[in-house]
Chains A and B, each alone.
Chain A
Amino acid sequence: MSLLKLEHVTKRFGGLTAVSDFNLDLQEGELVGLIGPNGAGKTTIFNLITNTYLVSEGKIILGGKDITGMKTDKITAEGIARTFQNIRLFSELTAFDNVRTACHLRLKSSVLSAVFGLPGYRKEEKEIDDKAMALLKTLGLEKYKNDLAGSLPYGLQRKLEISRALATNPKVLLLDEPAAGMNPEETLALAALILRIRKEFNLTVLLIEHDMSLVMTICERIIVLDHGVTIAHGLPKEIQNNPEVITAYLGTGDLYA
């Protein structure tokens, strides 16, 4: 079943077309990679899906519901969570509080019942605590519960961002370069982790990544972007041998011919 659909999505910044006529049909449970050289418009697509940027043209549909132009926090509530390329944790809050903050959107109690600690709120707060703790455990971060997010090492910050995103109960998880700055071993562990959480949380994952070993091992389908245009689309094998993709990444040999 199609879960997330992008139809003819285009984004123009003044005269620059960052993304042009982008189409995506993400099936439930899929793990799709989005690759391309720097400046190809990959992160822009994430920002369009979450409406951090408003699309110039086209439609975004989540589970049959048109979410184009919906407010970012509403889109998150609908079930799309993301991580950021340049880690955006709440650095002055603890790891635990980072995850608990992301549980806030499902809170039903009013402000006053929170302030006066009414039973309804206390129950919800307890549920939030348990859920956040379980998520920290899932990613092996329980030891760092009370550490400030900003003081954690880089690799753990990436993991914390993933657990924070999971706390919003997403259907679709958008991962923006989760392996950036990791060594090959860490990348391998990350690949296993992504597969594990996909299964555990019934996720559909869209992944931006420069590390080809990661993309080629875990992605079922790959979309290649260059200058905002989709230049290739297919299985990892097909992409690896696609001449256009090779040209986009490496350029042509004409200069020296």
Chain B
Amino acid sequence: MDRRMKLILTIVSLLVFILLLWLAENYMDPFIKRIMNVAAIYVILGVSLNLINGFTGQFSLGHAGFMALGAYASALLYMSPALKATNFFIEPLIWPLSEIQIPFFFALLVGGAIAAVAGFAVGAPCLRVGGDYLAIVTYGFAEIIRVILNNLQNITNGPLGLKGLPTYTNLYWSWGWALFTIFFIKKLVDSSYGRALKSIREDEVAAEAMGVNLFKHKTLAFVIGAFFAGIGGGLLGSLLMTIDPNSFNISLTFQIVMIVLLGGLGSITGSVVMGVSIAFLMEFLRFVESPMTVFGLTIPGISGMRMLIFALILVITVIFFRRGLFGQKEFSWDWIFRSKRRNAE
């Protein structure tokens, strides 16, 4: 199949997707719409974490920290001064933050940029550690962010969090950013820079001997990954309408890590598919947490049972599909049509 044909197919499917989004935004039940928004945010987070963990091979557990920065920074910028005043009743918000209000889109960008700066700050010293140690350091970073957010009463409102945020996030925003994230990171990993990132994952010593600047490329992965995590955090804040420091704890990071591992380290397709699947499963598995009767035995509702099912899925994946659902494979038109032809034969 030639390139023009593929381009046409891509454009057509994008248009169909946008039409579906429009239909969903206007006619879909708000409950499903909400899950679709969460799905898009999971896609953003999964794909951006995959850039750091899957493509560059730097096992980071700092994603929740980057998200928190993005969520807080953007919320403080798009909230109206009046809303800020009602939120900060213990200690007033410092000037000039108390007066500023900028449009949602720019607030998101600033949130992403602040997360990206943090990504650089974490990535740069982490150059010296690898493997398990890097995971510990980045986890430590996420915890530091959480503790800081809890204690900066006059900027973050401390443990009270920010409430009553305006819901700007809709399907266009969330899926628009998700598509942009996929486009950006796919183009990046397929470029010369992407090959350099993958070479670091494959063999750091050889990569350096072939002239790959380890410092530059590792921080590059962290900065871009953190930027999109910040955007995802901002979108999530405006969707949930409330953020507090403890909602960005380690279990959030683990949800994203789970998406990446299940989908396959180094597969964007995998992160997208699993991001959407997990968002829907999270909601539809709620029934296991309600009281039920099994073989005449009545089990009271246990909250958190859903996570047990995810744990089970993760264990099964690790045993039977060690490289995740997609390994390092990616979706492509060739792949679709080849498998169709194979089925026809």
For A104, give its contact among B184, B193, B202 (CB under 8 Å): B193
Residues of chain B within 8 A of A92, CB atoms compared: 198, 201-202, 266, 328
For B212, give its contact among A91, A105, A117 (CB under 8 Å): A105
Residues of chain A within 8 A of B199, CB atoms compared: 90, 93, 101
Cα-based distance from A125 to B210 in the complex (angstroms): 17
Residue pair A100, B192 in contact (C-beta under 8 Å): yes
Residues of chain A within 8 A of B196, CB atoms compared: 101, 104
Residue pair A104, B195 in contact (C-beta under 8 Å): yes
Decide yes or no whether B187 CB sits under 8 A from chain A.
Answer: yes
Bin chain B's interface residue count: 20 to 34
Residues of chain A within 8 A of B198, CB atoms compared: 90, 92-93, 97, 101
Please tell me the number of chain A residues within 8 Å of chain B, measured between CB atoms: 38
For A72, give its contact among B203, B208, B224 (CB under 8 Å): B208
Decide yes or no whether A73 CB sits under 8 A from chain B.
Answer: yes
List CB contacts (< 8 Å) of B260-281 with chain A.
266
Residues of chain A within 8 A of B192, CB atoms compared: 100, 103-104, 107, 109, 114, 124-125, 128
Residues of chain B within 8 A of A165, CB atoms compared: 210
List CB contacts (< 8 Å) of A140-155 with chain B.
none
B321 CB, min distance to chain A CBs, angstroms: 17
Cα-based distance from A84 to B210 in the complex (angstroms): 11
Decide yes or no whether B213 CB sits under 8 A from chain A.
Answer: yes
List CB contacts (< 8 Å) of A31-54 with chain B.
50, 52
Given known A-B contacts A88-B205, A93-B199, A116 and B187 have beta carbons under 8 A apart: yes
Q: Can you report 22 residue pairs joining A to B where beta carbons are below 8 Å apart?
A: A52-B205, A52-B209, A73-B208, A76-B211, A84-B206, A84-B209, A89-B202, A89-B206, A90-B199, A90-B202, A92-B328, A100-B192, A101-B196, A102-B211, A104-B192, A104-B211, A107-B192, A114-B191, A115-B184, A116-B187, A124-B192, A164-B210
Chain A interfacial positions (CB closer than 8 Å to B): 50, 52, 71-73, 76-77, 81-82, 84, 88-93, 97, 100-105, 107, 109, 111, 114-117, 121, 124-125, 128, 164-165, 167-168
Chain B interfacial positions (CB closer than 8 Å to A): 184, 187-188, 191-193, 195-196, 198-199, 201-203, 205-214, 220, 224, 266, 328
